[in-house]
Amino acid sequence: MLRAKTIEGAVVTSTVANMMNRDHMRVFFGRTAALVAFVALLWAVQVVNWIFGYGLNPAFGLIPRHVSGLDGVIAMPLLHGSFAHLMANTPPLLVMGGLLVATTTRALLAVNAVVIGLGGGLVWLFGSSAIHIGASGLVFGWYGFLVARGLVDRSPITLGAALVVGVLYGSLLWGVFPGQPSVSWEAHLFGAIAGAGAAFLIRTHVHAPRLGGVDLD
C-alpha cells in the first residue's frame, strides 16, 4: 500500500511538473512572438515614416523640455532617421530581447516601463535641444538591466546572460559619452541608467539556484 501511494504521488508530481513546463514553454513562445512583433512594428513604422518624408520624427520625437515633445518619451523608440539607423538597432534588440525573454519569468512589463519611462523622462529633462529618436535608448536600457541583474541576482543564468551581453556588446559603453555627431548619447546614457535601476528595483525571478544558496522560483 505504501509503495502504491508513493508511485501515485510520483505520478502526480510528474504530471504537475509537465504542466508547469508546458506553461513555461507557452509563455516563452508568447513572449518571443511579442518581441518579433515589436521589431516588425518598428519596421512598419519606419516604412510609413519614410513614405511621409520622415515627418513623424518632428511630430512625435522627444524634444527636451518642450511639452509638445513629451509624448516622445513613449514614441521615441518607435522612430528612426533612416533604414540604416533601424538596421543597426535591430540585431541588439533581438539578441538582448531574446535574453530577456529566455531568462526573465516575471515583471517584463515593469522593467520596460522603467527603461522607457525613466530613461525617456531623464532625456526630456536633461537632453540637448534636438529631436531625439530611435530604439537605441531601449537597447541600452536592456543592456544595463541584463548586466546589473547578473550582479544583483547572482544566479548562473543571469550571470551567463550578463557575460554574453558583455562579450557581444561591451563596445556599446562608448555610446554613453558625448562627441558622436547626430547620436543621442543622452538616450544611451539615461537608458543604461534606467535599465540598471530597474535591476535593483524590480525582482525578475529566474528558474535557477543562486550562487550563494538555493532560491528557486
Amino acid letter, residue 120: G
Give me the pLDDT at residue 7, please.
54
Give me the pLDDT at residue 126, please.
95
Amino acid letter, residue 54: Y
pLDDT digits (tens, 9 = 90+) for 111-127: 999 999 999 999 999 99
Q: Is the pLDDT of residue 9 over 60?
A: no
DSSP letter string, 186-211:
HHHHHHHHHHHHHHHHS----SS--T
Q: How many helices (H) and strands (E) does the chain have?
A: 8, 0
pLDDT digits (tens, 9 = 90+) for 56-113: 999 999 999 999 999 999 999 999 999 999 999 999 999 999 988 888 767 888 999 9
Query: Residue 173 and residue 113: Cα distance in Å, rounded?
Result: 22
**Residue spans per domain, the chain:** 1-201
Closest Cα partner for 140 from 183, 82, 203?
183
Q: Which of these ranges, 2-6, 110-114, 175-179, 200-204, has the smallest mean pLDDT?
A: 2-6
Amino acid letter, residue 52: F
Confidence at 211, pLDDT banded by 50, 70, 90: very low
* CATH architecture observed for domain 1-201: Up-down Bundle (1.20)
Query: Residue 84 and residue 120: Cα distance in Å, rounded?
Result: 22
pLDDT digits (tens, 9 = 90+) for 166-193: 777 766 767 677 767 677 889 999 999 9
Query: Residue 15 and residue 176: Cα distance in Å, rounded?
Result: 49
Amino acid letter, residue 187: A
- What is the pLDDT of the chain when averaged over all its residues? 83
More confident residue, 71 or 213: 71
Query: Residue 60 and residue 69: Cα distance in Å, rounded?
Result: 7
Cell of 144: 544595463
Give me the pLDDT at residue 170, please.
67
Query: Residue 111 and residue 197: Cα distance in Å, rounded?
Result: 9
Amino acid letter, residue 137: G
